[in-house]
Amino acid sequence: QVQLVESGGGLVQPGGSLRLSCAASGFTLDYYDIGWFRQAPGKEREGISCISASDGTTYYADSVKGRFIISRDNAKNTVYLQMNSLKTEDTAVYSCATGDYGLGRLKCLTPAEYDFWGQGTQVTVSS
């Protein structure tokens, strides 16, 4: 079965950390750019980070730059999102998705450029 499965979400206090995983089954992630997105209630889906398939170049939205780190482990067929210094405004459903090889900076954080999505994992930052 071809699928992307996110995990690692949960409830965390402000200032805390979580690591999300995006695991692929039924296909290999090696040749896809991978993006992380989030959607809070009543808001549009936001691209927050992405990593290229070609050379591992990473991009971040300004809202998470310096706090989140995206990485990929092709041997495990998994992409990770390390989230540090979490804020209440980071509360959302986080999803990963596959995009074409070589999206580049202008397209990498654009949801419409991505074809295949996981079901998402809830992240709640609250005291």
Question: Up-side HSE of residue 32: CA atoms within 13 Å toward CB?
Answer: 22
Q: What is the pLDDT of residue 61?
A: 97
pLDDT at 62 over 90: yes
DSSP sequence for 53-66: TTT--EEE-TTTTT
When pLDDT is cut at 50, 70 and 90, the band that residue 101 belongs to is confident
